[in-house]
Structure 1
Amino acid sequence: MIDWYADLPDIKPKYLAITQLIRHLIQEDKLLPGQRLPAERELAEALKVDRSTVSRALLELASVGLVVKRTGSGTFVSSLPHLDNATNKVNWTTFLETTASNNYQAYQGQLLQARALDNGHLIDAAVNELPMDLIPKLGSLQMDWQNFLLAQHQEQDAGYLPLIQTISNVHKARNQFKLTRQSLIIAGGAQQSLLLILRSLLQVGDAVAYAQPSYFNASAIFQAVGVRTYTVPLKHGKLDLGVLEDLILKHRIKLLLLNPTFQNPTGEIVSLRQRQKILTLCQQYQVPIVEDDVFGWLVNKSDEVPTFKSLAPANVIYISSLSKLLGSSTRIGWIVAPQAIGQRLLQVQKKLDIVPSMLAQVMANLALTNPSFNSEIHKLTLALAARREAVATIFHEVRPDWQFASPNGGLFFWVTQRDQEIFNHLLAKHILVKPGPIYGADRQTFRFNFAVIDETKQEQLRTQLRQLKP
């Protein structure tokens, strides 16, 4: 009689321990060729693991010929198990299956195909950024080669000194927070900033939490660094603090990741009162917050809410970038962190060699110091407001069954409707959107980038939406 749990090797991950155990049992003739293994559910109970862990272990063993899975009959030891070959053979199938099952990859493939086949009728509201016609027009940014060479002498560990000073002045002018006892570090965009933070502060197996729905759900960064993720429901700008507290206690959450201003994808702004409640809970359990503020540029003064960084500078790491403002190829972002954390980030950034190019930093500084910069941002917010209102009017007129709240800024509508297959129906009418499952939501939701709908496309949108099934 096999005592499955007692014989299980004390190694992690558990599915590898199970594969090692079964391989050993076959080698010792305790499991014989053709013998049926216990059902996955029974085996999971005997081993005190999840059934999914057993399923993955059996998939590994099947891929190297040690077991055979027969539909409707169960899993059997192979008639001729090749133990010598099995010990060193990598199961590439598991990598392919993981990729194939990824919602983001599947939907992204459909979006890319639709763009490639565009015959001029496509409305691409699935993009993540501004259209070219709305990107601030800053004219010619003058720089000669001699000045560029001189600029390299102003490079510090944290980045190009004039750019650091310019960004500091921007935050002061916007009354967002002070940089006293803080480090400002230039990075290659918001995603690279997040990668740097995770690599610097967490170990493999550590846990983080973020809101659901969220664009964090589609990020490959967490898997790349071996971090476990847990989600907290977000509805009408309110994070479920009860769920967050339970996650902190059960899973020892190390970081809370938030995108509180024009949250992606919902477009909501987390209120000041809600931010204070989140901070109180996180301070109680000593959980730092990473605040992603890439859309903060697009807030009207009347709607501005204090950043988490301004409310608790010692407890928050702040991220921002220029990519949502000056185009996705503008890979310049920055991190503002307490000094001790900043030093750690700099050490890891240097070790990983992920410092942005000096040319990109110099160009970013020229853009931010351009005399037209502030007026162009003002024009942008007005143009976005006009397009937001126009698209909302079309939705109300043509699709009264769609539910959405019109945000006071940002780029996106978050729409809920009753059609489970809305993504494919819209795709058939040459309208691209980002479906809810990408963000951890259900198929009845989608994100729509209203910024791309100029006056020419507004009538086109109205016509193509009318062709949808009621």
Structure 2
Amino acid sequence: MINWYDDLPDTKPKYLAITKLIRSLIQEEKLLPGQRLPSERKLADVFKVDRSTVTRALLELSSSGLLIKKSGSGTFVSPLPQIHSTTRKVDWNLFLENHETTYSSYQSKITQARALNNHTLLDGAGNELPMELIPHLGSLQINWQNFLIAQKQSQDAGYLPLIQTISEMHEKRNQFKLNNQSLLVTGGAQQSLLLILRSLLQIGDSVAFAQPSYFNSSAIFKTVGIRTFPIPLTSSGIDIDVLEKVILKHRIKLLILNPTFQNPTGEIFSLEQRQRILKICQDYQIAIIEDDVFGWLVDSKDEVPTFKSLAPENVIYISSLSKLLGSSTRIGWIVAPQAIGQRLLQVQKKLDIVPSMLAQVMANLALNDKSFNSEITTLKLELAEHRHIVSQIFYELRPNWHFSSPKGGFYLWVKQDDPEIFENLLKKDILVKPGPIYGATKENFRFNFANFNKDELEQLSTRLKK
């Protein structure tokens, strides 16, 4: 007797998972030619899905010739010649439908709204800073001869002056020291995460991350065949009890966090929270990936020691310049224990994903510009002003919108009662990022308060009053 339910692959939508399972059972000859399948009702019960889901899966398999439906008799595996013939034709619909996720559905609506924008859209769905707020660093000049000289300072891990600059900045900000650590330059935070997953995990391994989280919509995990398990965020931080249960049940290998201005909630994990998380990860030998792309924007009075500084040998640290200098600044870096750093470096070279030398040289010039620190200070003040104004608008005009004003970052994470809030705001030409993208409900949304100038803030107030 085939154990249908336990073998069901972790694929969405469910009908696609059922088609994959039955197809593999036929190919492995666990379902034989001419064999009768259980009834649709029986399959629906064991798969815990609607009968219509099973019906669709069986129709797909019948149309491809793997199954035959006989009226009044049931559904049977096709004769052997038909099975062989199906291997000659690829069903491209399976590839397309597998990528129709909640994220892509909402993202299509966001893209369409921006494309149809007639200068009336108030866009609070952006991920980055607007051009006006990106630090003004003047002219970063380099001639071709200097660029050729710079290339001679390139190492396997990246452009040596940039590595030294980043190392010094981390030490000056008292984040951590790079003793017995490797620093590797990458093409951004997402590429850093991809490189870590490809280097350290096998297909089918499991990772965990907090939810809600922008990791929820990342395609990286499916790309490398990694299973993901969300851990709910509570008022006191990540739910430690759930984390422990998930670690034990699913053999979690990595815990991925962005603990400073967490995306989308804007929360900063307290020192106590970080120590509790570290303890349970150390108890179960779970490595932590610390995504710190917003760390540039925290005020000194609000700073909390990084996971990397608390447990340097247990943590791989990721950061980048994209949230600071614009999304096209594809420069990031990884700080990892030396043995792990060597492994990452080998895989980076093998995959040929070494970042542009010109981009590295320009990034080093930007970080060493004499106005860099003062520009970051100005940026933090401007963001605080934007955050205060938008918070006041929401408090006064939408008292049923609940949110905690963060201490930095770009975002407000709002909870209210209307499940159609995304569509209803869009009717007013106000664009937000809906909760399901982050693994939350439709009653939540993320709002980028950085993306509004004075006139747009007045328009926002006017439209919400209506």
2:22 alignment partner in structure 1: 18
Give the alignment's TM-score, normalised by structure 2.
0.91
Letter in 1 for 2:34: D
Letter in 2 for 1:275: R
Find the aligned partners of 1:131 and 1:75 in 2 and give their Cα distance. Answer: 60
- Structure 1 residue 29 and structure 2 residue 28: aligned? no
Letter in 1 for 2:332: G
Matches within 5 A, 1:249-288: 249-288=248-287
1:390 alignment partner in structure 2: 389
1:301 alignment partner in structure 2: 300
Find the aligned partners of 1:206 and 1:462 in 2 and give their Cα distance. Answer: 48
Query: Do the aligned residues in 1 keep the contact of 2:65 with 2:78 (CA within 8 Å)?
Result: no
Deviations 1:353-380 (A, max 9, x none): 0000000000000000000000000000
Question: Relative to 1, partners in 2 of residues 1:309 and 1:150: Cα closer, same or farther, differing over 3 Å?
Answer: same
Deviation for aligned residue 1:27: 6.3
1:83 alignment partner in structure 2: 83
Query: Do the aligned residues in 2 keep the contact of 1:236 with 1:268 (CA within 8 Å)?
Result: no
Deviations 1:27-73 (A, max 9, x none): 64334xxxxx4234634778xx7769978964652341333689x99
* 51-60 or 152-161: bigger deviation: 51-60
Deviation for aligned residue 1:78: 8.4
Letter in 1 for 2:97: E
Letter in 2 for 1:314: E
Deviations 1:392-447 (A, max 9, x none): 01001111110000001000000001001000001111111000000000000000
Letter in 1 for 2:42: E
Deviation for aligned residue 1:92: 2.2
Letter in 2 for 1:30: Q
Letter in 2 for 1:67: L
2:169 alignment partner in structure 1: 170
* 57-66 or 287-296: bigger deviation: 57-66
Deviation for aligned residue 1:220: 0.1
2:66 alignment partner in structure 1: 66
Find the aligned partners of 2:450 and 2:402 in 1 and give their Cα distance. Answer: 19
Query: Do the aligned residues in 1 keep the contact of 2:35 with 2:76 (CA within 8 Å)?
Result: no
SS of structure 1 residue aligned to 2:99: helix
Deviation for aligned residue 1:77: 3.9
2:95 alignment partner in structure 1: 95
Question: Relative to 1, partners in 2 of residues 1:252 and 1:184: Cα closer, same or farther, differing over 3 Å?
Answer: same
1:337 alignment partner in structure 2: 336
Paired-residue identity, %: 64
Find the aligned partners of 1:221 and 1:429 in 2 and give their Cα distance. Answer: 34
Deviation for aligned residue 1:22: 4.7
Find the aligned partners of 1:176 and 1:391 in 2 and give their Cα distance. Answer: 31
Find the aligned partners of 2:30 and 2:262 in 1 and give their Cα distance. Answer: 52
- Stretches of structure 2 that go unaligned for 5 or more consecutive residues are 11-16
1:442 alignment partner in structure 2: 441
Find the aligned partners of 2:432 and 2:204 in 1 and give their Cα distance. Answer: 34
Deviation for aligned residue 1:213: 0.2
2:212 alignment partner in structure 1: 213
* 18-27 or 132-141: bigger deviation: 18-27
Letter in 1 for 2:92: W
Find the aligned partners of 1:434 and 1:225 in 2 and give their Cα distance. Answer: 26
Query: Do the aligned residues in 2 keep the contact of 1:211 with 1:234 (CA within 8 Å)?
Result: yes
- Stretches of structure 1 that go unaligned for 5 or more consecutive residues are 32-36
Deviation for aligned residue 1:465: 1.4
Find the aligned partners of 1:16 and 1:426 in 2 and give their Cα distance. Answer: 39
Deviation for aligned residue 1:91: 2.7
* 52-61 or 241-250: bigger deviation: 52-61
1:320 alignment partner in structure 2: 319
Matches within 5 A, 1:86-165: 86-100=86-100, 102-165=101-164
1:355 alignment partner in structure 2: 354
Find the aligned partners of 1:28 and 1:452 in 2 and give their Cα distance. Answer: 61
* 157-166 or 112-121: bigger deviation: 112-121
Query: Do the aligned residues in 1 keep the contact of 2:23 with 2:66 (CA within 8 Å)?
Result: no
Query: Do the aligned residues in 2 keep the contact of 1:41 with 1:51 (CA within 8 Å)?
Result: no
Query: Do the aligned residues in 2 keep the contact of 1:40 with 1:51 (CA within 8 Å)?
Result: no
Query: Do the aligned residues in 2 keep the contact of 1:67 with 1:75 (CA within 8 Å)?
Result: no
Deviation for aligned residue 1:18: 3.0
Letter in 2 for 1:141: L
Deviations 1:125-147 (A, max 9, x none): 10000000000000000111111
Question: Relative to 1, partners in 2 of residues 1:153 and 1:85: Cα closer, same or farther, differing over 3 Å?
Answer: same
1:451 alignment partner in structure 2: 450
* 455-464 or 374-383: bigger deviation: 455-464
Deviation for aligned residue 1:88: 3.5
Alpha-carbon RMSD: 2.8
Find the aligned partners of 2:225 and 2:431 in 1 and give their Cα distance. Answer: 32
2:13 alignment partner in structure 1: none
Query: Do the aligned residues in 2 keep the contact of 1:129 with 1:328 (CA within 8 Å)?
Result: yes
Deviation for aligned residue 1:212: 0.4
Deviation for aligned residue 1:307: 0.3
1:34 alignment partner in structure 2: none
- Structure 1 residue 401 and structure 2 residue 400: aligned? yes
Query: Do the aligned residues in 2 keep the contact of 1:27 with 1:83 (CA within 8 Å)?
Result: no
Question: Relative to 1, partners in 2 of residues 1:44 and 1:143: Cα closer, same or farther, differing over 3 Å?
Answer: same
Deviation for aligned residue 1:75: 6.5
SS of structure 2 residue aligned to 1:82: helix
Find the aligned partners of 1:183 and 1:64 in 2 and give their Cα distance. Answer: 52
